[in-house]
Chains A and B, each alone.
Chain A
Amino acid sequence: MTRTPAAVQAPLAGFTGADPAGVASGDHFMDGDFACAEGALAAGCRFIAGYPITPSTEVVEHFARRIPTIGGVFIQMEDEIAASIAIQGAVWAGHKSMTVTSGPGFSLMMEHIGLAAMAEVPCVFVDVQRGGPSTGLPTLPGQADVMQARWGSHGDYEIIAICPNSPQESFDFTIDAFNLAEQYRVPVMLMMDECVGHMHEKVTIPRPEDIKIFPRRWTKQAVGSYLPYKPEFDGWIPGMVKAGDGHFFHITGLTHDERGYPAMSVECQESLVRRLVDKIRLNADAICRCEEIGLEDAEIVLIAYGITSRVAYAAMEEARRRGLKVGLLRPIILWPFPERRIRELAEKVNTFVVAELNYGQLSLEVERCAAGKADTILIGHGGGTVHEPEAILEVLLRAAPDAIGRQGPRKRMSPLRAAPDAIDRQGPRKRMSPLRAAGKKR
């Protein structure tokens, strides 16, 4: 069983070391929220605007404690709407900036995720996910904001979302989030969950020179002739400036041309939105990152992310002990979705089993990419705690090829797609059973 580590992307040219002022090098025992704040400081973030919400608040509390001795700003705004746009003002003033929230606050931030995508503002949104909908379970975990992170704001746009499963990753991936935001000029979501946020583990913070920082892509255009939305880097990415340097630039959330001026035309909409979407979609292979364990001989691929991936790992080990060929795929970057990898695997494996703390979000993507070539079984969960490994194991056992052989080919269908048949046979009371069964028996 081989394990490809959750390696940071191959270093790109242009990375620099971190500003030592923000780096608390050494070994620490801290929770994911604190680690996220330390990651932001190490990444060079000197501006956080936030609003308190459980279970994310420790991030800003830690930042507020640390920042006055480093030099920067923490401001507690009047609400999440304000926080999510104040950070964008700070970006245009030259800062790296971030805001932190959880479910209900994340909902309030949606409009400004759209603004950041439209105006191409490199910034980081941290969502420490809790059980929802609405006020839901403030102190307990969930993973039901995954689709919201992708589609929550109106209109067509692309973002990047990263999902850590430990405090160490919370530190590392916060730095990666800033790097990706700068590289692609998109808002980047760090999709923690309450368990990762509040779990204390060892976190090793490297020396500043060993931290890779992707610096802001400042424009190469001259003062006086600057076009804010003329692609300058990689054929996609416009160069940044900061206010106060005499460029006299204009930024708007309206559809705009290269000058940044509003342009209410179909042509302009097409070229702008196409570029916003393509700069991520066409670079998806370079951005996507997965951890893969034991996939080389796998017939069943267990897919899980965040805290669920740690539970899934236990289930996978037990399944392997019982002779099942199960591998684990953990998407680290949830968005863009590792589409190509799922398509490749669908050619080779029989079944994808997706465990997530919601009733089917990333599993929809898996099923879409499997495109009927392999089955997709969801192990849904409403959140509030994590799955029992036994519940996952049970589904793995049922999904194993010999079990399928006994049940006949019709049973290979995913419970989601098999539902119509099940209704016919079992009557309306059992409609939801294939999904619920896994949860109830745990």
Chain B
Amino acid sequence: MDTPNKETTPGTSPAPRRVKPKLVVDWERCKGCGFCVEFCPKEALDLSGDFNRKGYHPPVVDDAKCVGCNICELICPEFSIFCKDAEGAPARKGKEPKKTHLAEPLLRMDRMPHIWCPGCGIGTTVNCFTVALSQCGIPREKIGLVSGIGCTGRVAGYVNLDSFHTTHGRAIPFATGLALGNPDMKVVVYSGDGDLTAIGGNHFIHAARRNMNLTVILVNNFIYGMTGGQTAPTTPIDAKSSTSPYGASEPPFNLAHLAETCGATYVARWTALHTRQLTRAMQEALNKKGFSFIEIIAPCPTLFLRLNKLGDGLSMMRFFRDNSEIQNGADTRSVAIPYQGKIVLGKFVDKEEPTWLDRMNNQMSKALGTRHVPYGAPKKEGEAKS
């Protein structure tokens, strides 16, 4: 089967001459979305005829066909299918044998199952985020995560980081205070399109303008999910929503273009299907100083797809496969997303600019000379608690 996941991330690709990991399905976590079955490159998975307790058909594995590529593990939004290191496999350098889903060590598993619907793409993006986190080289305690309100806003509650579930639209200004308050930290904002660009639109453009040292991960499902499918600033013209029952008539934001024109120093767009590229983009964004922005197009089966009669989450993932085009470096003016049209993906912007704090410190020392006490230098031991 043809998948767009042709690139591999260094470090996650299977090492040669290894013992093939065993694919394990956590039967009860599965919500039967079918992503793993559809996008397995070896067609090693099929939905079982049996039901789990929730009434879904979890996948069954054909061990003979499985090569342990872990695409299913990365794409599963329920963290229910994963590669486990086989008994007697050679120890990986400096690592414990892998026995659980890759996301588990970075999630609050006592809060599972999560609230996202079957076929929602947010869980998949969280998988990619956890991989990016473990590979970015930043210590976990130095990463903070801030969400607003909405379906994606719930990410803060599930990741096992210093995490903040704030008010609707205000994740970015909260994160601004957190990032400036502790400049040693990398602060990530993880929220939805309505939260970040409607009610939070003012904060989004100003944080980008300031080149605040934040990574903003925006999951765009074209609609307000949590509140029941109302029109968002991203809803394409003609798409229906519960408040646009005859189709939306307002032009939506081209978010990549908005971010770039406002001053973002890293802008990328991927879909929930493009797990490898998305993981790498997240890793790059985490290591970027300044305002980095990743837009992730994800399916909302319960509202956007149902109201528009576009099928389920899997149909949307197939649509991503068939209708997306990778154009790294594309002019962001050309990457607006039409209703049911071509989605341009890629890394559009990656440049270096001084951050707000760099500029502030430079300006002050220019004006004040030696009287300036630079802010953001590493604190002396015990200073903050004295």
* Residues of A in contact with B (beta carbons under 8 Å apart): 47, 49, 68-73, 75, 77-79, 81-83, 85-95, 97, 111-112, 115, 216, 218, 242-254, 261-262
- A85 touches which of B163, B174, B185, B385 (Cβ 8 Å): B174
Q: A68-B364, A243-B178 are in contact. Are A81 and B173 (CB under 8 A)?
A: yes
Chain B residues within 8 Å of A, Cβ to Cβ: 108, 111, 140-142, 144, 146, 156-157, 160-167, 170, 172-182, 184-185, 202-203, 206, 356, 360, 364, 367-368, 371-375, 384-385
Contact assessment for A242 and B180 in the assembled complex, using a CB-CB cutoff below 8 Å: no
A78 touching B206 by the CB < 8 A rule? Answer: yes
Of B162, B179, B184, B374, most A-chain CB atoms within 10 Å: B162
Q: Is the CB of A252 within 8 A of B157?
A: yes
Q: Nearest-CB distance from B187 to chain A (Å)? A: 8
A252 touches B165 (CB 8 A): yes
Q: In the bound complex, how far is the Cα of B137 from the Cα of A202, in angstroms?
A: 55
Query: Is the CB–CB distance between A86 and B173 below 8 Å?
Result: yes
What would 6 A/B residue contacts be, using CB atoms closer than 8 Å?
A49-B173, A75-B176, A89-B180, A115-B166, A243-B162, A250-B157
Q: What are the 4 tightest A-B residue pairs by CB atom distance, in nearest-first order?
A: A93-B181, A89-B177, A86-B177, A82-B173
Residues in chain A near residue B374, CB distance under 8 A: 71
Closest chain B CB from A257 CB (angstroms)? 11
| Cα(A262)–Cα(B156), bound, Å | 11
Report B-chain residues with C-beta under 8 Å of the C-beta of A85: 166-167, 170, 173-174, 177
Give the chain B neighbours of A253 by CB distance below 8 A: 165-167
Residues of B near A72 (CB, < 8 A) are 375
Is the CB–CB distance between B373 and A97 below 8 Å? no
Q: Is the interface of A mostly helix, strand, loop or mixed?
A: mixed
Which residues from chain B contact A111 at a C-beta distance below 8 Å?
167
Which residues from chain A contact B185 at a C-beta distance below 8 Å? Answer: 93, 243-244
Whether A248 lies near B170 (C-beta < 8 A) is no
Q: A111-B167, A115-B166, A262-B157 are in contact. Are A242 and B182 (CB under 8 A)?
A: yes
Report B140 CB to chain A, min CB distance, Å. Answer: 8
Closest to B363 in A: A68
A89 cross-chain contacts in B, Cβ below 8 A: 146, 164, 173-181
Smallest CB gap from A73: residue in B = B180
From A49, which residue of chain B is reached at the shortest CB distance? B177
Give B370's nearest chain A residue, CB to CB: A69
| Contact B178–A68 (Cβ < 8 Å) | no
- The reply to whether B167 and A92 contact each other, CB–CB distance below 8 Å, is no
Q: Which of B142, B144, B182 has the most CB of A within 10 A?
A: B182
List A contacts of B164 (CB < 8 A).
89, 92, 250-252
- How many angstroms between the C-alpha atoms of A247 and B164 in the bound complex? 13
- In the docked arrangement, what's the CA distance between A249 and B371, Å? 38
| Residues in chain B near residue A248, CB distance under 8 A | 140-141, 160-163
Q: Is the CB of A250 within 8 A of B108?
A: yes
**Which of A71, A72, A77, A243 gathers most chain B CB within 10 Å?**
A243
In the complex, chain B residues whose CB is within 8 Å of the CB of A68: 364, 367-368, 371-373, 375
CB distance from A430 to the nearest CB of B (A): 47
CA distance A216 to B356 in the complex (A): 28
Q: In the complex, which residues of chain A have a beta carbon less than 8 angstroms from the beta carbon of B172?
A: 82
- Alpha-carbon separation in the docked complex, A251 to B179 (Å): 16
Q: Are B177 and A93 in contact (CB under 8 A)?
A: yes
- CB atoms of A94 and B181 under 8 A apart: yes
